[in-house]
Amino acid sequence: MRGNKKPFIYIDPTPNKNNMYDGYVFNAPMLEQISISAIFKDPRQLEQFSCCTDDLEKDNMSALTTEIKDALIRKYVTYYRQYQQPPVQNDQEPR
């Protein structure tokens, strides 16, 4: 639950005219910087922003994308393997 003292961000699910998503920060006066953990649809879009150009590995974008996909697939498969229930016999009687 959100409290009235903690900041939170609302991300508008409709893309704007630049095909980006707008985020609105609430309950956080005078922010100097924001850091996020996210999975981007296309990491090359970060090149448009001046804050992120130092951190990008421009030559190795495909390897980065492959690593992200592999990590997500591993999490997905592990989740469904752990919580898979064994088949149960149907012992209902016909009407």
Q: Quote the CA–CA distance of 64 and 56 in Å, as a whole number.
A: 10
**For tokens 């469904």, what's the residue?**
80
Tell me the pLDDT tens digit for each residue of 51-64. 665 555 554 566 77
Q: Quote the CA–CA distance of 48 and 52 in Å, as a whole number.
A: 8
Joined together, the tokens standing for residue 19 give 């095909």
pTM for the structure as a whole: 0.43
Report the pLDDT value the prediction gives residue 70, as an integer from 0 to 100.
Answer: 87
Q: Quote the CA–CA distance of 21 and 10 in Å, as a whole number.
A: 10
DSSP designation for 87: P
- Residue 77's DSSP bridge partners are none
Q: Which amino acid is at 78?
A: T
Report the pLDDT value the prediction gives residue 39, as an integer from 0 to 100.
Answer: 72
